A and B are shown apart, each in its own frame.
Chain A
């Protein structure tokens, strides 16, 4: 039993290793942005250690730099992380039966990347040890990248660290673009959200404009955005 757990853990470590290439640069960029926004090294690392959600961390740091309120930042984080309900459900439906405490512990480490790797394998069910091996890699390198970025930010030239602020936009665009070419209505919804956010920013605080436009357009999207074409075919 112990031997199988060890094998599964090592298999998870191996499966997670390609993620390092993507995680470290984004973690560096997050840490540099956080330090620029006024976070200390401990706060920068503390957020990565306790929250472990890259997109939310970068968004929160960006909102903090713009002077957003505490409630706005937490609410925006909540909205962005609602997707974890679906990802975590898929992970635990696929995981072999295990102790509830182990499930609750593992839940902290569910991210887009660990979800994608864990749920796309050929096995119908996978061990919690595989998941823990996988997330050992993602969690370690996200936090290592954060620590290096937080410490190194003081050493980088101002112009270089300032330019890393673009990482926020680059990351969200990278998340968004793959789904757009095949779905015109989704593209329209994205444009509508951007316009809505711009207009609302004229009459309210920009962080509340972001939350309001996200909620409003997500609600509209439930009525007129087509499901994914592949999913549609599967339904026929």
Chain B
């Protein structure tokens, strides 16, 4: 149970940073220079 809780917690804190830009991509532009990353 403890390990499954760990996995679910990790799922949340990994998915949120991935998904935020999917929703807010237009607001997250870096002056049109995204290719430098």
Contact = CB atoms under 8 A, between A and B. Distances in A.
Nearest to B13: A78
Contact of B20 (A77, A83, A85, A90): A85
A103 B30 contact: no
Interface stretch (A47-55, A150-158, A170-178, A213-221): A47-55
A21 interface: no
A83 B35 CA distance: 16
B6 A88 contact: no
B15 to A, nearest CB: 6
A85 B17 contact: yes
A75 B14 CA distance: 10
Interface residues on A, range: 35 or more
Interface string A30-69: 0000000001000100110011110011001000100000
A84 B5 CA distance: 22
A119 interface: yes
A95 B21 CA distance: 12
Interface residues of B, number: 29
B17 A104 contact: no
A102 to B, nearest CB: 9
B20 to A, nearest CB: 6
Given A85-B17, A89-B34, A51 B11 contact: yes
Contacts of B30: 89
B4 A46 contact: yes
Contacts of A50: 7-8, 10-11
B31 to A, nearest CB: 11
A73 interface: yes
Contacts of B17: 78, 81-85, 88
Interface in A222-236: 230-231, 234
Contacts of A88: 17-22
Interface of A: 39, 43, 46-47, 50-53, 56-57, 60, 64, 70, 73-75, 77-78, 81-95, 100, 103-104, 106-108, 110, 115, 119-120, 230-231, 234
